[in-house]
Amino acid sequence: MALEVRRIVTGHDANGKATVISDERLPAVSRAGRSHIAGCEIWSTDRMPVDNSSNDAEAQQRAGFVKRYNYVGSGQGTVIRITEFAPGAPKFMHRTETLDYALLLSGECDLELDNGEVVHIKPGDVVVQRGTMHAWVNKGPQPAVFAFVLIDADPAKAAGQDLRTHFPSP
């Protein structure tokens, strides 16, 4: 996969004026055990409100706080990533304890839920994923490229139980 993302980070100079503190290209990295999925971890935070001032916080946010499968898991974290799903990639049903915004940038993809429901997604469509069991299925001829924003959330509750993270091993 040839996915590459340009990450531009702003900050402040010594006089409090806005400045670009970095402008770099991030090559996509294949997910462990899932060579058909590649992505770029853009940024993550581990608390609210976010620290936009300290250099230490900026370095940690740049490096990423991802600790629990594919999200922060601190209870107050966020993650933004760009992910590419290869055509014909095997699906895997999973759930995270997050509220996710999934924006399809290019290609087409199906969102499949554990009840069998399937929704076809085209570029510009946005899925608001609320802790449900789901899979992304690319049946098309082109890679499907998403921007995902994940926000830590309490586990969804249904039928008197907490619906905890389910992230199967590859």
Q: Provide the strand spans (E) within the chain.
A: 4-12, 18-27, 29-31, 34-45, 78-85, 98-106, 109-113, 118-121, 126-130, 134-137, 144-152, 156-158, 161-163
The full set of domain ranges for the chain reads 29-163
What confidence tens digit (pLDDT) does each residue in 87-108 have? 998 888 999 889 999 999 999 9
Instruction: Please tell me the predicted confidence (pLDDT) of residue 27.
Output: 93
pLDDT band at 1 (very low <50, low <70, confident <90, very high): low
Does the pTM surpass 0.85? The reply is yes
The fold for domain 29-163 equals Jelly Rolls (2.60.120)
What confidence tens digit (pLDDT) does each residue in 4-58 have? 999 999 999 999 999 999 999 999 998 877 889 999 989 988 888 888 888 878 8
The neighbour count for residue 125, using CB atoms within 10 Å, is 14
Instruction: Please tell me the predicted confidence (pLDDT) of residue 95.
Output: 92
User: For residue 139, is pLDDT > 70?
Assistant: yes
Residues 154, 158: Cα–Cα separation, whole Å: 13
DSSP 3-state of 103:
strand
Instruction: Please tell me the predicted confidence (pLDDT) of residue 23.
Output: 97
